[in-house]
Structure 1
């Protein structure tokens, strides 16, 4: 990827960023409304967004980076909202954002590590290997010959992220004042805290080392080694993994056996560390999973590893095990143990929650299961839409937001892979990692 001039850095200023998003929202909103009108009139469109609008989204969100770009990454994963052509364009946000110049990269490395890249590495590619929401990655070689990936944070992205969170927080605060049921303050604070923590690459290095221990019992998964002496607050150096990211691998037309193997690894990568060690990879876009030549799955980007409270983990472990045994769940008691608050009559809440678990648990009950035609996310969205007023009175704990982000992204990735097979057995294998 060719380097770009310094004006490719994220635009600064709270109101400047708000203005860019507002203009984009008006453009996209107008097109979505027109698509909805065509559906109501019986002339159903083939796509929610045109390729032209998607290109504008990619350009603007890619330029803004930060939280705005993360939202675009999430949008690019949903197969029920966008056509394959539009999703393919939006997928550029996963690791192909406009890159900052090498001069900027060199300055950040010098400020953080005390010397320019040429002095710290035997080789350092001036072109970005990947460019994403908070920083970009460069291929390099240590003086001992080991190939590494060096992630360098965009200058000023911490301020830009803070401005994005201030703008979003104002919206949340305004909406929350309209009704107690609409109060999303605690969820926004959880989202904000987790996102801002991703700016500290020293923290990410420690999370990567911890996550490597969490997947140690799963030898088909691999976490790259951290190079501590070449890492700092805004620079993170990791062992370079060779292979194809999930989004590139699926374009190679893998056979059914390969699809099942990779789908199994995705399930193990999500639920294995959660059930065994109480932490989860909560940024599941396809650019963060690598299909390696030796058959292992490499895991990337550890800034959003979420560690949960003991009560949340214990209740979810018990729910998972009972679901695998096909037992009738006491859903209200389990959800309350997880940390849910319920402001509905118990019988009414139980029906709603039982349907959620019924939809989510299909692959655990059915063998074989076809993820290529999986409708879990669509049916869950429809269930929430039909029962919105009542479901809003069943409130999960704030920490659950990152769990839902991880497991919802897993379902989308599994549909992307499109494997079919005995996934009940895969979930049984994962469940065997822990006892009751």
Structure 2
């Protein structure tokens, strides 16, 4: 076995041991609750689970963020605690950064920059960002992946499967098989910075004519599979900006809406991670979109299904709703199941149902969302459960994640008009042609 293989195996085994111990404790207590009748203090144990996992970099934190937008995939006590895992992992020191950069760009890598800051400007889940200046005097952001992240991702995904299996044994409301498949596929993609660079170039093209949105250019000659270099764009955190410029709340919300949904309704592509750290705000209220690791490409028929479900809900057309859910990937949905799914759909679609200016929180407030999720969960158990299709996971995450952003902004917007402007000329054949042309040009795989 080579040293590289030993290191990879060693990293994975260490990860399995650390995560496995925490998950094993959960399994033992869960078994005690189920078999012996010993009550499981979920809030306390969830906090213990987070404490046990808190020193680990990245993947589990990203998984927790995803799970927080999938109604009752796990009990909310666990999602609440896991979502507090810190996004800012300890940064790599300068000696380690030098070795990593040499591995990516060669031993003379420093000669390819006019300057390169030793201290990381930001540390995230899978890598850290360094400011630099190129030989052409462009300011740059160099995202360098942490070591052994592939091992970390595989270890965490294996343990996530065990966590899902544990809860499915006692609660049949939601089958998580396809949720796990989808999360696994997207996390593995996030490890490939060459793919992310193509995603970034695709987004720059898709949003080129969209006002209020900026996408930094990729610097391909300084990018590899584990190093992504983009132009540095200045901006502030959204909540800091709004605190100083409350008059820009509505404009910011509309810019965010277009940044996420112009690519979806025009190209069938969605940014699956509306996390507050993935964009910044310029002084004029326009936004910088920064991270392109979690991108989902949908078949044009799915996009049509999203619009069809909206129209079915407005018209209270049950047959059209059944067909829309089938297009979404729900296998042979019964009318009884559709009536339950519609509870959640009406919650998600509520802001774009009425032609009026309104706040998101009229129907999308946190307490209402929890109440709706609990109602859906109970009804799903009653009708025999559901297997959530893979396509649902990131579409739902985008909708709920953006809703959370709009809640923070306290924006009052006519969401109906924004949505209608996007779909007024929708044609699935034209979408397919645009998608094929754009994705092929930028080297992004077409949907199966």
TM-score grouping bracket, smaller chain normalisation: 0.7 to 0.9
Q: In structure 2, what is the equivalent of residue 36 of structure 1? A: none
Partner SS, residue 399 of structure 1: helix
Worse-matched range after superposition: 300-309 or 377-386: 377-386
Distance 1:77 1:418, change over 3 A: farther
**Counterpart for residue 291 of structure 2:** 301
Deviation at 1:362, TM superposition (A): 1.8
Cα offset for 1:353?
A: 2.7
Alignment partners' CA distance in 2, 1:74 and 1:238: 26
Task: State the 1:233 CA deviation.
Answer: 0.6
| Structure 1 counterpart of 2:256 | 266
Instruction: Give the drift of 1:93.
Output: 3.2
1:138 maps to what in 2? 130
- Cα deviation, residue 198, structure 1: 0.8
CA distance in 2, matches of 1:395, 1:167: 20
Q: Does 1:369 align with 2:362?
A: no
2:239 matched to 1:239?
no
Question: Is the 1:245–1:289 contact (alpha carbons within 8 Å) kept by the matching residues of 2?
Answer: yes
CA distance in 2, matches of 1:296, 1:148: 20
In the TM superposition, residue 122 of structure 1 has moved relative to its aligned partner by 0.6
The one of 255, 267, 278 equivalent to 1:277 is 267
Q: Which residue of 1 aligns with 2:401?
A: 409
The answer to whether the Cα contact below 8 Å between 1:12 and 1:160 also exists between their aligned partners in 2 is: no
Does 2:106 match 1:114? Answer: yes
Is 2:217 the counterpart of 1:217?
no
Q: Determine if contact 2:50/2:85 at 8 Å carries over to the other structure.
A: no
Aligned to 1:42: none
Return the alpha-carbon distance in structure 2 between the equivalents of residues 134 and 293 of structure 1: 29
Matched length: 399
The aligned runs of 1:163-182 (5 Å cut-off) are 163-172=155-164
Structure 2 unpaired stretches of 5+: 1-7, 28-42, 71-75, 429-448
1:123 CA drift (Å): 1.1
Take 1:192 and 1:429, find their aligned partners in 2: how far apart are those partners? 34
* Aligned twin of 1:17: 15
| Aligned mate of 2:301, from 294, 311, 318 | 311
Structure 1 residue 91 displacement after superposition: 7.2
* Residues 340 and 380 in structure 2, CA contact (< 8 A), matched pair in contact too: no
- The higher-RCO structure (CA 8 Å, 6+ apart) is 2
C-alpha separation in 1, matches of 2:134 and 2:219: 10
Indicate the residue corresponding to 2:328 in structure 1: 338
2:196 is the counterpart of 1:198? no
Q: 2:91 aligns with which of 96, 99, 102?
A: 99
Residues 1:19 and 1:249: Cα distance change in structure 2 (over 3 Å): farther
Q: Secondary structure at the match of 1:311?
A: helix
Residue 292 of structure 1: how far off its partner (Å)? 1.5
Instruction: Decide whether the 8 Å contact of 1:77 with 1:412 is kept in 2.
Output: no
2:117–2:131 Cα contact (<8 Å) kept: yes
Aligned to 1:431: 423
Other structure's SS at 2:120 match: strand
* TM-score, normalised via structure 2 length: 0.77
- 2:446 aligns with none
Q: CA deviation at 1:138?
A: 0.6
Partner of 1:254: 245
- Judge which range, 335-344 or 401-410, deviates more: 335-344
Alpha carbons of 1:179 and 1:380: their partners in 2 closer, same or farther (altered >3 Å)? Answer: closer
| Cα separation, partners in 2 of 1:433 and 1:299, compared to 1, 3 Å | farther
* Root-mean-square deviation (Å): 3.9
| Unaligned ranges ≥5, structure 1 | 1-9, 30-47
Distance 2:158 2:288 in 1: 35
Contact kept in structure 2, 1:290 and 1:297, CA below 8 Å: yes
